[in-house]
Amino acid sequence: MPTLQLAYSGAIATITLNRPEKRNAISAEMIAELLAAFDEVEASAAQVLIITGAGKAFCSGMDLDALKALASQSPAQHLDGARTLARLCRRLWSFPKPTIAAVNGHAIAGGCGIATLCDFTIGVPEAKFGYPEVRIGFLPAVVSIFLVRQIGEKQARDLLLTGRTIDSAEALRLGLITHIAPAEELMKATQELAATLLASSPTSLRVTKKLLCEFAAPELDRELALAVTESAQIRATQDFREGLASFLEKRPPRWSGE
């Protein structure tokens, strides 16, 4: 697959986001390939899924070319894009086998979502996490649904409304990630955690995850539908167009509040 690599080692499957020259930024092609890879791993004999990134970043968020394309998209295309992102996030959140993110570098915006929607998230000390969407007139709508559940509403409001990035130490304190490991020990720590999971009954793990997801699914799906609508609608605002233009032109935005 052009944007990622899928490898198996015994009962462990590993997806490596593989666009290091783009800091593993998310494109429509990557989303499609991730969804296909999830299907393949679910159907395989693998019992644990690891997700990591190639190069110095885990995932820097949306690809620059994809951002540029947003300016000329129709309302129907905006809605379709929001639905696709929601489908990816929900698929990873409810993946039936245990998932571990080995966060080798910065995980920003959608990349932060991929990293933290895994059951376990191990980050290197140098990694940064955050949702800076409000700084470019965008809306972290889909990820907000999951973030509130992960760290609580007050902490989620802090991250989403300020758009600030945080380091691994703060992410661990907030409960956004589960472990910190030095870069040279990241994959060792990940493999050790995978081994702990593999020592348990795969049936019990699968049913436990299924039960946890079923507890939250009805409300989460209702919230996701609202988030998709809001995410698509904000792309029609003047502030979004200005935020996007200022980001691409590397200048301060001139907000109109419209």
Residue 23: predicted pLDDT: 97
Catalytic residues: 133
DSSP state of 72: T
| Mean pLDDT, the chain, whole residue set | 96
Residue 202: predicted pLDDT: 96
Q: Which two tokens stand for residue 134?
A: 């409000």
- pLDDT tens-place string over residues 212-257: 999 999 999 999 999 999 999 999 899 999 999 999 999 999 999 9
Q: Which two tokens stand for residue 27?
A: 């494109």
- 94-120 burial by CB neighbour count: b if 16+ within 10 A, else e? bbbbbbbbbbbbbbbbbbbbbbbbbbb
Residue 67: predicted pLDDT: 84
Distance of alpha carbon 108 from alpha carbon 189, whole angstroms: 22
Q: Which two tokens stand for residue 221?
A: 């799906």
Edge-first strand order for the sheet with 179-180 is: 4-9, 12-17, 48-53, 99-103, 120-123, 179-180
- Phi, psi (rounded to 5 degrees) for 102: -100, 95
The answer for residues whose C-beta is within 8 angstroms of residue 57's C-beta and 6 or more apart is 20, 23, 24, 104, 105, 106, 107, 111
pTM: 0.96
Query: What domains appear along the chain, each with residue ranges and CATH number?
Result: 4-183 (3.90.226.10)
Angle at which helix 75-93 crosses helix 28-43, to 10 degrees, equals: 30
Distance of alpha carbon 144 from alpha carbon 161, whole angstroms: 11
User: Residue 85, CB half-sphere, CA atoms under 13 Å: how many?
Assistant: 31
Judged by average pLDDT, the poorest of 67-71, 131-135, 182-186 is: 67-71
- pLDDT tens-place string over residues 75-114: 999 999 999 999 999 999 999 999 999 999 999 999 999 9
Q: Which two tokens stand for residue 165?
A: 């990035």
Supply the Cα-derived Rg of the chain in whole angstroms.
Answer: 18
Residue 120: predicted pLDDT: 98
**Amino acid occupying residue 253:** P
Mean pLDDT for 179-203 is 98
- pLDDT tens-place string over residues 126-177: 999 999 999 999 999 999 999 999 999 999 999 999 999 999 999 999 999 9
Distance of alpha carbon 37 from alpha carbon 31, whole angstroms: 10
- Furthest CA-CA distance within the chain: 57
